[in-house]
Amino acid sequence: MNPLHRDSASSNDAIETAAAEWLCEREEGFAAGRAEAFAAWRAADPRHEVAVERTERAMELIAEMPAVRTELTARIEAATRPPGRVVRWAAFRPPAWAAGLAAALVLAGALWWLQASRAGVAQRFATAAAHQEQIALNDGSVVNLNASSEVSVRLTANERRVTLANGEAHFAVAHDMARPFVVTAAGVSVRAVGTAFNVRVGDAGIEVLVTEGKVEVTRDAGAAATPLPAERPQLVAGERVAIPRAAAVAPAKIERVSAEMLRASSQWHSAVITFYDLPLRTVVGQFNRRNALQLVLADAELGARKIGGTFAADQVEAFVRLLEQDGDVVAERRGAGEIVLRRAP
């Protein structure tokens, strides 16, 4: 298992449990200062807000399913009640069961996901800085969400639609001719049936890179920005298009990338990153998208220097030490969150 994904899964489990504990406490009535503490916890990390929303929806679903509610209540009572204690759940007001909380959430979350996938209810996922998440969708597709990214997913009988609000995601799409897979980001839609591709939303624009199969790229109705190369351009494996947000006279260009660059560009969701003779500025960008500790290039000439190798994606300090070994690069650490790289005098 990818260590990054294992750590992320463990962290997400703790967040889900904390969200449910907060909601139970809110249901019983917050003590002085606790409402403010809950609000601060929700705002501290985008994943906290997502977990609260997901847990609330799960609770609402169970409230609407009497048979499931009865079964879940019985399981919680059996696991958590002391002798002689009876927990009554008449109108589904969440009780204060902390010991059986995690087990209840597993069932509740699974039930909510099942109902959501059937009814086409959107699910939202978000990651904080230095955290990634791998999402296995109900149709068999897999979404790898990069750090500081957010998506919403809606699966219906006729379509699978994902909205990438910000950040970057890689999609490995399960083949289903009856249900196209559409990713929308900043006024651009990418349509696939069974393929793999990467979409990144940045301040300058949207980048689409196809790693397997082919996709169709379109502009959403009313979008006034850079035109596409064709009315419905298709990209095949190994092709990339960068579409600026701002309007431009010339259409965006589809470019062919080398096999080495294709591997490098699609490996951000791996625990290691392999670079093949890439400019240092590109490598720095890869590290910065995945870590809270940010690298800053002090001059353009250093950024153009080509490097290669395989590095642990979360080991920024180790990467910097390797750059410093030859004596050509000097690193200046500015506090805990930034390292400036410049050429040695």
Long-range contacts of 241-246 (CB under 8 A, 24+ apart): 241/207, 241/208, 241/217, 242/205, 242/206, 242/207, 243/188, 243/205, 243/206, 243/207, 243/208, 243/217, 244/204, 244/205, 245/186, 245/203, 245/204, 245/205, 245/206, 246/205
- Average pLDDT of the segment spanning 111-117: 43
Within-domain flag for 262: no
Per-residue pLDDT reduced to its tens digit, 255-280: 999 887 787 777 777 766 666 677 89
- Average pLDDT of the segment spanning 196-224: 87
Within-domain flag for 31: yes
Q: Indicate if the pLDDT at residue 83 is higher than 50.
A: no
Within-domain flag for 306: yes
331 is in which domain, residue-wise? 271-343
Q: Which residues of 166-180 are buried (b: 16+ CB within 10 A; e: fewer)?
A: bbbbbbbbeeeeebb
Nearest to 165 by CA among 223, 116, 219, 206: 206
Residue 276 and residue 248 share a domain: no
CATH number, domain of 286, equals 3.55.50.30
Residue 181 and residue 130 share a domain: yes
DSSP state letters, 100-154: THHHHHHHHHHHHHHHHHHHT--EEEE--TT--EEEE-TTS-EEEEPTT-EEEEE
Strands 338-343 and 294-297: parallel
Number of structural domains found in the chain: 3
* pTM, to two decimals: 0.55
Q: What's the CA gap between 49 and 161, in Å, rounded?
A: 22
Within-domain flag for 155: yes
Q: What's the CA gap between 105 and 59, in Å, rounded?
A: 9
Contact between 120 and 154 (Cβ < 8 Å): yes
Residue 277 and residue 219 share a domain: no
Q: Let me know how long the chain is.
A: 345
Helices (H), the chain: 3-28, 34-44, 46-63, 66-80, 101-119, 259-266, 280-290, 300-304, 316-325
Residue 236 and residue 155 share a domain: yes
Place of tokens 């998506």: 151
Residue 130 and residue 115 share a domain: no
CATH number, domain of 136, equals 2.60.120.1440
Per-residue pLDDT reduced to its tens digit, 126-183: 888 777 887 878 787 888 888 889 999 998 888 999 999 999 999 999 889 899 999 9
Residue 247 and residue 319 share a domain: no
> Can you give the pLDDT at residue 238?
93
Q: Indicate if the pLDDT at residue 112 is higher than 50.
A: no
Within-domain flag for 265: no
Name the percent of the chain lying above pLDDT 70. Answer: 72
Residue 136 and residue 253 share a domain: yes
Q: Which amino acid is at 53?
A: E
> Final residue of a domain: which of 119, 154, 169?
119
Within-domain flag for 263: no
> Final residue of a domain: which of 119, 146, 173?
119
Q: Indicate if the pLDDT at residue 313 is higher than 50.
A: yes
Residue 315 and residue 297 share a domain: yes
Q: Write the CA distances from 75 to 57, 65, 83, 101, 201, integer angstroms.
A: 20, 16, 15, 11, 44
Average pLDDT over the chain, rounded to an integer: 76
Contact between 166 and 132 (Cβ < 8 Å): no
Within-domain flag for 264: no
Non-local CB neighbours of 69 within 8 Å, separated by 6+ positions: 62, 63, 89, 92
Residue 130 and residue 198 share a domain: yes
> Final residue of a domain: which of 257, 285, 302?
257
Residue 134 and residue 251 share a domain: yes
Tell me which of 114 and 300 has the higher pLDDT: 300
Contact between 278 and 264 (Cβ < 8 Å): yes
Contact between 268 and 313 (Cβ < 8 Å): yes
Residue 41 and residue 73 share a domain: yes
Within-domain flag for 295: yes
Residue 178 and residue 135 share a domain: yes
